[in-house]
Structure formats: C-alpha cells, structure tokens
Amino acid sequence: MLTFEEFISASPSPYHSVKTAVDMLVSAGFKHIRESEVIPSNTPCVYTRDGTAVIGWIPGTDFTSGFTSVQSHTDSPCLRFVQSGAIKAFGTLMSIPVEPYSGLVVGRFIDRKLRVGGRISYIVEKDGKFIPASILVKSEGEFVIPGLAPHMLRNPGDPKDWIPEGDDFVLCCPKTVTINGKQIEVKEKATMNDLFAPLLPVGAIISATQIDISAIEFNRYGSLIQAPRIDNLASLYGSVVGLINSFKNIPTQASTRMIAGFNHEEIGSRTRSGAAGIGLHDWWLRVCQLPSDIAIAAMHKSLNISADGAHANHPAKGASSCHDPIPVLGSGVCLKFGQKQNYAFTDNLSAVVIAIAKNAGVSTQKWVGKSFKAGGGTIGNLVAADCDMKVVDMGLPMLAMHSCLEMIDEADLKGFEVFCARVHEQGNAMLGLMLQLHHE
C-alpha cells in the first residue's frame, strides 16, 4: 500500500489523486468499472466520474441494512494555467499566464519550487475522422513565481509586499522543462497547444487543459508533516486506507461500505463531479437494486462521514473563528460543529461517531465554530440535504490551510485511518442503537 508521502507525490491534480486512489483499490482486490456499466451485485468495485471524482465500495450481503460512507474531496486551492494563455520571454526566464482556483493564499506560492500536473484533452485525426483523446501530465519541480524585491515597494501607497492579482499572475520556468519524463522546449509566444505538442500525436489539436500548480516539497519534522494539498488529500488517502483495511479485516458483512472523493468542493460543489448533486443517491439505488421505498428506508439506516480539514490552534494567532478549547495537532480527529450548520452535525450523530472512535481507541477533539464569525464549510450538509443522508462533518486538525504547504500530525492521520475502518465495521449498528432510542 502506498504511503501518504507517495500518495501526495503521485497526486499533483484531482485527476492524479483519483487515478492513484483507484490504483490503490484495484491493488487491494477491487474491480475498476465504468459508471455507465451495469454494477455487479457482489464484487468490490470502484468507478470515476469526469476523471476527478471517485466512488469505491464493498457490497454487503443485505442491502436492506444500508451502508456506511466516508466522503472527501479531490481538489485543492491552487493556481492553474490560463486556457488561452501565450508564453512570454524575459531573457532566459519564460513566463506562463496562470490564474487562481478558489481561495488559495497567493503569497505563499511565491519563491517556492513548484510543479504542474493535470489533464490535456485533444482531438486527433485517425482514418480520416477526428476522434477525442486525453493524457495526464506531470512535471518535475522546475517552475517558480519570482518575488519582488523590497526596493520596488518604497513609494508612498505601496504595499508591504507584492501579492499577484489580475494579469500579474505568472508562472516562470527555464527554456527547457521536463514533463512526463520528456524534455519540453518552452518558446516565446507559444500557446498551450504549442507547449504540449511534443507529448501528443502529430497533428493533435488541444480542446482544453486543466493544469494545476503546486509545491513539490514533502517535509517531516518528527511526527509533523508539511506538504502540498493536504486539504483534502489527507482525508481522501485516509478513507482509501480505511476501506482497504476494513475489507482485509472483514471481507464480508451485511451492510455495504463505501468511500467517495468529490471534485469542486473549493468552489461550491455544484457540478456533476461535485458533492452537491444526486450522484450518491443514484449510486445507492443502482447498487442495492431494491424497490424505492425499501431503498430509501435502508438509506436512513446509513451513517455517513464528511471528512475535510479542521483549523488547529496557531501558536501566534490561535483560531479566531473557533470557541475554546481550540483543537491542536496530535490530539485526534475533530468533530466540527457550527450553529449556522455550515458543518453537518446533530447531537445524536455526534454521540454515535464519538462512541465508534472510543471503541477504536482513536482520540477526538471538537471544533466549535463561533456563530458570529465568518468561517468555512464543506460537503457534509450538501450531501445531507441533496441526498437526504445522515452525515457528520469531521476532519484532521491542520495549520496553514489553503497555503502552498499545509501541516498535520501523522498521528492524527493514522488515527483517522483506523477510525474510517471502524466506521465501516460498526457504524450502522451504533446508529441503529441511537435510532431505536429516538424511535426514528
């Protein structure tokens, strides 16, 4: 099984993280099928949607008992290549236009060793007809956004530091870079089609690119991990490991076990590959093949975890949107609460997941958002409302969320992996006890 470091290294874009998750599941005995295929009723399977979302599951022996799920997202705040950009030359420094995706902390990407990764879709002529095709691309760490010297910021009204905005967003590199192991020449006035042409068949015409930019570092300080895209690849990785370990521990059980990784959480999730849709609802109806009334009844017996990062206590700044005590690194997975319901929680479901964690020997903390402060949100209540599911929002405590490099403690990640496996093994039984108590 891949380590977390190997998973991060292999995943510079949502396309890569989904492919890597699929590869891990297939290596563990899951069958990779197309979403458009008929779903097998008794085989662990995985399928993808648009290349950036993934659902993997182990079918149960009794679909009327429902399912458990751990859901996360595959995208991260970053910079991306401009679709129609043209390259400029400044001596030996080449400049590629880029633009922000979601709420990244732009200044943290300056003066860092960066890489690019994503997917290129194109058309190519074959036997007198044009056909569609695509290719995943991944570079070495040969890209950088140069900072601006303080001497350029000494006039009245100048900011303390330069933060790119608008047309100032550029990514720089030398005249030759390595992409997919191949030396690529970066030429002035070249378009995206020109830049990536050496990777494509002769005569190929690019229809669209989605190329993410991220750091290439992975740093360890004792148990602390500093890496790019921890939000939310740590949750995706932990959910994959948890599902695989649950399959190893208990190959067959009554309830179905599932994980999902969605795209576009960072921009609202309202896309085909995002969480704010009926994808999970459709998946369950197709998997269980039960009459609608029985299928919906089984869904209400199902426990779902929405996994995303939680802000930890910063040594200098704390976490102003969180009530005390603020979660800290290394003290366990966080349950996320908010009176505005920007995070999915109910009192009875929180008791269920805390009991599961304690039975697994996994420490938990509470992240309690201040109702009078602006804060974040994630996919939990989107899934709860749009698919009518019981969902609890949880996450790993982290520092520097949405930065070029983010930080977690490895102990929290390991605990989350154990928790995910135990959710699949005990979740619906524990939920059943609570539902019986409340006669629901």
| Domain at 195, CATH number | 2.30.250
Residue 152 domain boundaries: 79-215
Q: Could you give the maximum distance between any two Cα atoms of the chain, in Å?
A: 73
Residue 224 lies in a domain: no
| Pairwise CA distance, residues 45 & 39, whole Å | 8
Q: How far apart are the first and last CA of the chain?
A: 40
- Looking at residue 285, its pLDDT comes to 94
Residues 21 and 40 in one domain: yes
Distance (Å, whole) CA 437 – CA 301: 13
pLDDT digits (tens, 9 = 90+) for 311-354: 999 999 999 899 999 999 999 999 999 888 889 888 899 999 99
Asked, for residue 222, whether it belongs to a domain, the answer is no
375 to each of 189, 322, 325, 395, how far by Cα in Å? 42, 9, 17, 15
Q: Is residue 220 part of a domain?
A: no
pLDDT recorded at residue 408: 99
Q: What is the pLDDT of residue 15?
A: 98
Task: Tell me, yes or no, whether 243 and 384 share the same domain.
Answer: yes
Rounded to 5°, the CA angle 154-158-164 comes to 115
Measure Cα distances from 155 to 2, 107, 150, 160, 165 in Å: 51, 20, 10, 10, 19
Whether 259 and 289 map to the same domain: the answer is yes
To the question of pTM greater than 0.95 for the whole model, the response is yes
- The domain that holds 34 is classified in CATH as 3.40.630.10
Number of domains in the chain: 2
What pLDDT score was predicted for residue 385?
85
**Are both 123 and 55 inside the same structural domain?**
no
Single residue among 161, 181, 215 that ends a domain in this structure: 215
Give the helix ranges, DSSP H, for 250-288. Answer: 279-288
Q: Which residues contact 178 (CB under 8 A, 6 or more apart)?
A: 139, 140, 142, 184
pLDDT at 434: 87
Q: Are residues 270 and 180 in the same domain?
A: no
Claim to verify: residue 86 and residue 71 sit in the same structural domain: no
161 within domain boundaries: yes
* Residues 301, 419 share a domain: yes
Domain end among 215, 243, 265: 215
| Same-domain check for residues 106 and 58 | no
Low-confidence ranges of the chain (pLDDT < 70): none
Provide the β-strand partners of residue 122: 133, 206
Report yes or no: 353 and 335 within 8 Å, Cβ to Cβ. Answer: yes
- In this structure, the answer to whether residues 342 and 425 fall within a common structural domain is yes
348 three-class SS: helix
In this structure, the answer to whether residues 234 and 249 fall within a common structural domain is yes
